[in-house]
């Protein structure tokens, strides 16, 4: 009897490790961060964008809610011009509140607005901290892997987004090539996510390497691709 008890306690402990490190998971990390999903007060009474949100165990350090990184990423994503109307509503309410509260974030986002021309059309663009954004996408990829496989991914993680233009045009054309490659693989991927107006993802698992590929779609517009292998 005693042996059985010991085995059970080890198993429950294993499930409580942080999705990113070997520390104990003392809090829940929402994937993507909870602030992405509009609160009741910001939406119509008939709407609900918080159905079965995904969570993984997280240590203090790897919980993005403990930093400004999640609101920074949300501000960048919701500023994307191809998103759905919900994104624009979310941007006007939630982000405005965050910007008013956090002067640092205000400096990063608002002061970086620039007018640019793409194919003769004028757009407002924000200059982004690319590394900060890519690191957030990597964390989301690792958390989704943990959620799907119930274990940590310890190999290489790469993240890309086709929706942030680089100053270097050769990187942009490489991203275009990658976009075509991702689109050609969609038939092999399965879709997940119950609040697809805010977030859904397509997944593909490579049986040989145990790796995975995730295509993340925010507000039916902004995309990020996570390659684990
Ligand atoms: Zn951790």
pLDDT digit string (tens) for 154-164? 999 999 998 88
Average pLDDT for residues 41-51, to the nearest whole number?
92
Q: How far is the CA of 19 from the centre of ligand 1 (A)?
A: 6
> Tens digits of per-residue pLDDT, 92-141?
787 778 777 777 676 666 666 777 777 787 777 777 888 999 999 999 99
Could you tell me the end-to-end alpha-carbon distance of the chain, in angstroms, rounded to an integer?
41
pLDDT-based confidence at 16, cuts 50/70/90? Answer: confident
Distance 57 CA to ligand 1 centre (A): 9
Determine the distance separating the centroid of ligand 1 and the alpha carbon of 25, expressed in angstroms.
7
Sorted by where each begins, the domain ranges of the chain are 20-228
Determine the pLDDT at residue 7: 47
**Centroid of ligand 1 to alpha carbon of 46 (angstroms):** 37
**Strand ranges, E, within 39-112:** 54-58
CB contact at 8 A, 159 and 137 = yes
Tell me the pLDDT tens digit for each residue of 196-209.
Answer: 999 999 999 998 98
* Ligand 1 centroid from CA 213, angstroms: 22
């Amino acid at each position: 009897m005693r042996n059985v008890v010991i085995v059970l306690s080890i198993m429950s402990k294993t499930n409580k490790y942080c999705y990113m490190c070997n520390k104990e998971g003392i809090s829940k990390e929402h994937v993507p961060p909870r602030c992405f999903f509009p609160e009741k007060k910001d939406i119509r009474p008939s709407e609900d964008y918080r159905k079965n949100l995904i969570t993984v165990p997280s240590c203090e350090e790897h919980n993005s809610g403990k930093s400004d990184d999640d609101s920074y990423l949300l501000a960048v994503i919701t500023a994307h011009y191809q998103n759905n109307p919900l994104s624009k509503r979310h941007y006007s309410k939630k982000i405005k509140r965050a910007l008013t509260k956090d002067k640092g974030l205000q400096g990063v986002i608002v002061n970086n607005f620039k007018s640019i021309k793409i194919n003769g059309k004028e757009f407002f663009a924000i200059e982004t901290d690319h590394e900060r954004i890519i690191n957030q996408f990597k964390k989301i990829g690792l958390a989704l892997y943990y959620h799907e496989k119930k274990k940590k991914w310890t190999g290489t993680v790469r993240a890309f987004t086709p929706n942030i233009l680089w100053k270097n045009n050769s990187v942009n054309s490489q991203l275009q090539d990658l976009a075509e490659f991702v689109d050609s693989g969609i038939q092999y991927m399965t879709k997940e996510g119950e609040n697809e107006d805010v977030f859904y993802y397509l997944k593909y698992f490579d049986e040989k390497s145990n790796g995975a590929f995730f295509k993340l779609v925010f507000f039916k517009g902004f995309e990020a691709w996570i390659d684990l292998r």
